[in-house]
Each structure stands twice: as structure tokens, then as C-alpha cells.
Chains A and B, each alone.
Chain A
Amino acid sequence: MTSFEERDRQLLLHAALDGELDAAGAVEMERMLAADPELAAEYARLKALHKILQTHAPREEASAALRLRAMAMVDPLAPPQREEVKRDWRDPPSWRSFAAAIAATVVMTLGLDRLIATDATPDALTQAVLAAHMRGQISGQPVDVVSSDRHTVKPWLASKLPVAAAVVDLASEGFPLAGGRIDIVAGAGVPTLVYKRREHLISVTELRAGAGAIPATPRRRTLEGYSIIQWSDADRAYEVVSDLAPEELDAFVGAFRSALR
């Protein structure tokens, strides 16, 4: 075997590991692996490397401060960003700009609240839900009742609100419950459940059926960098907010909806 062929075999092995082979290529690779113990051993090493990288070199998460700074760049209600844009980015990040970002976001959330009280259009509903989620993240207190046990969260919410919230356990799906809180949407208290995925928070706010124009099948939109998925059934409407990657949030909504059934 020439070294060129050997090199191609190696590259194909990596492509197989990365799921980049088509069906025919994958079958061919399976045949080669079965016939060649050396190649199979190399494949095992590559798989071991992949596993150890997953464990010890996970995807890093942008800090809340960095996320806020990025969001502040496109915040329409923030004061003019001249200083921010002109700032020489070789300087170390200044606390002043961070503080400005928080202030801008807080101003925006407060502003939205006032908007909701007078005008409960569907979009205002979604923005109120998003504002509540953001406020929870900024204050570091995303929940009013801290518990991973739905049998604690559900009665707590029931004691505060006239509606009985649906609380489902998704810990086995990788989304443990962090707790619950009450958000004010369109002037009324509504139950919000908070789930966790690694360091990300997922807020699930339950609204009355017929609130806004929320469709029956989940619809996703992106607002301020957060993914928002909303849907409704016969009795209730749901709005889910998170900065989780879109595909993971889809998985969450899938798990949440099937647990409700």
C-alpha cells in the first residue's frame, strides 16, 4: 500500500468519526474496520479522544457580562453608543461599559413594563415574558421558590395564583427544574417555571389560552439574542425563553410538550 493510499484511509477514518461519510462510504468504512484490526484500533483511539475532549474541553459559555455588552450594542433604547464604539478595544474591558450595559437593559425592562400595562398586544406579551426572564438573569434571582422538586413548586405557585400551573419533571431529559416565580404580564400574575441546562436558564411562562395570537404549533422567534418559542393548547398558552442553542431549546420544548400529554 502506498503512503498516499494510507493517508487517504486515515482521512476517511476521521470523516467516518465526524459523520461526514455518505451511506456508501460508511458501509465501505465498516468493511475496512472489520478487516483491519490496526485501523480499528486507531478508530478506537479517535473515539476515546473525542470522548475525553467532550469531558474536559466542553464548549465555553460567554459570560453574562460579555452577553450584556454584545446586547447593548444593538439596544435601541440605550443611550448613544459613541463612547462604546470608539473605545480602543485594546484597553482592558472597563467596568464602566459593563455598568452602562446593565443600566441600559434595566431601563429597557422598566420601560417595557409600562408599555405592557397599557397595551397588551401579542408582541407586548412576548416582550413582557422576555423582560421578566432577563430581569431574573441580571438580578441573579431567577426564581422566587428554589426547588428541583415539582411537588414543592406546584403548591407554592398554587398558593399564590388562581390558576394551577402544569409542572413537569424533565431532569431525566437533562433539564432539571430550578424553581418557579411569578411574572407580571398584562397586569396579572402568571406562573413561570425555570429549568436549567448546564449554566443556561430556561423560563417557561404559562398564559391563559387565547392570550395574544399564539399558534397551536410551536413557533420560534429571536428577540434580543434570546430564543423564544410559543405555542398553545386548548387550555393554556406557553412562552419559553432561553439563551440556549436553538436546537437544544427545540429538544426542551419537545420534552416539555410530551411530558404534558
Chain B
Amino acid sequence: MTSETARRRFSEQVLPHLDDAYSLARWLAGDATDAEDIVQEACLRALKALEAAPVERPRPWLLAVVRNAAYTWFARNRPRAIVLAGDAEEAQAHADALETGVSPSPEAALIEAADRASVTTAIDDLPLAFKETLVMREISGLSYRDISEATGVPIGTVMSRLARARTLLIAKLGAAS
């Protein structure tokens, strides 16, 4: 049974950030129905956790809960996606190659001319670790500190993941046009 305190904490700390929770789940899952399932599970987990104690910084905390729910969901429903996440190291190596390789630097105007479909595909194609970092920063506007808290990695890692995610997007959008 849920206590009154947990309900109040949930109303004050979780519900205001539901859009951010959904956005993250939506981009991680790539599908609206799956994203709603993930967010619902995350809400149940959040409610349970709030029973025990309040949280200090609800937004990064909730996104961490959503992220964990998403990864559990992937493990059950899309074992192949999780393999990709586990191979983040390999993906980084791949990104390194791309960064130092011969990829031409497109004009800023070329990037700005990209259409919605190619932007969506480019984000979808990012390795999970890069994608979640990019979504938290560019779409939800979290600070580096918040992203570090939500993803459980040091700020330095957040910065390099973000830089790599952006480099990959720029290369892709520049080449697509």
C-alpha cells in the first residue's frame, strides 16, 4: 500500500518531469508504445523508491530511473540492443576512427538544411550511450552535472560522449544532404 507521503512526493517530484521522462524513453526505445510502457514501469519504481526517502534532485534522479527501466526492458524484449550498449567501448573506438579519419567538415548551412527524417535517423543510429547523453543535453537541456548523475558516469565521460555524439551527427547530416 502506498503511503500518503510517497504519493505527495510522487506528485511533486515525478509528475512535473513526465515529459522529460517520456522524451528519454521515446528516443531510447524508438517507439511510442514501448516508451509508454517503460515510463509506466519507471513510475512504479519511482513511487516505490519515494516510499523510503525523498530525493534531492528529482529530474536527474527520475531520468536515471527511466534509463534503468529502459535497459531492463531492452534486456527482456530486445536482447540485441543491449549487446550494443555493452559494446560501448567498441562504439567509441568506431567514433574515434570517424573523428580522426578523413570525414570532411560540412558547412554549417548544410547541417541546418537537414530535414526531420534525416535528423531522426541520425539520432536513432547513435550508440545508446551517446544517444542518451545527447537527448538529455540537447532535448531536455540538462546540465553536465545532472547528466553525470542520471547516467552514473563522471562529468569527463559525459563531455566526451556528448562531443562524439555531436561529431557523428554532424558527419551524418553533412553527408546526407
Contact = CB atoms under 8 A, between A and B. Distances in A.
Interface of A: 10-11, 14-15, 18, 20, 41-42, 44-63, 65-67, 69-71, 73-74, 76, 81, 85, 89-90, 92-93, 222-227, 245-246
Given A48-B108, A73-B2, 20 more contacts: A11-B160, A18-B143, A41-B105, A45-B111, A46-B166, A46-B170, A49-B166, A52-B111, A56-B115, A57-B138, A58-B139, A59-B19, A60-B139, A61-B19, A63-B32, A63-B36, A73-B47, A74-B7, A74-B47, A93-B36
A239 B60 CA distance: 29
A42 B19 contact: no
Contacts of A93: 33, 36-37, 40
A225 B173 contact: no
A92 B33 contact: yes
Contacts of A15: 144, 159
B16 A246 contact: yes
- Among B32, B36, B109, B120, residue most surrounded by chain A Cβ atoms (within 10 Å): B36
A66 to B, nearest CB: 5
Closest 7 CB pairs of A and B: A225-B15, A48-B108, A74-B7, A56-B119, A62-B22, A44-B108, A48-B111
11 contacts: A41-B108, A48-B111, A49-B166, A49-B169, A53-B169, A60-B23, A66-B40, A74-B47, A89-B40, A89-B44, A246-B16
Which size class do B's interface residues fall under? 35 or more
Contacts of B22: 60-63, 66
Contacts of A10: 163
A70 B43 contact: yes
A50 B159 contact: no
A52 B19 contact: no
B14 interface: yes
Contacts of B40: 66, 69-70, 89, 93
Contacts of A227: 16
A222 B77 contact: no
Interface of B is mostly: helix
B138 A50 contact: yes
B111 A49 contact: yes
B139 A59 contact: yes
B149 to A, nearest CB: 15
A56 B109 CA distance: 15
B4 to A, nearest CB: 7
Given A49-B169, A56-B116, A224 B19 contact: no
Nearest to B134: A53
B70 interface: no
Nearest to B144: A20
A258 to B, nearest CB: 25
A55 B117 CA distance: 12
A70 B18 contact: yes
A104 to B, nearest CB: 13
Interface in B40-82: 40-41, 43-44, 47, 73, 76-77
Nearest to A84: B44
Nearest to B17: A245
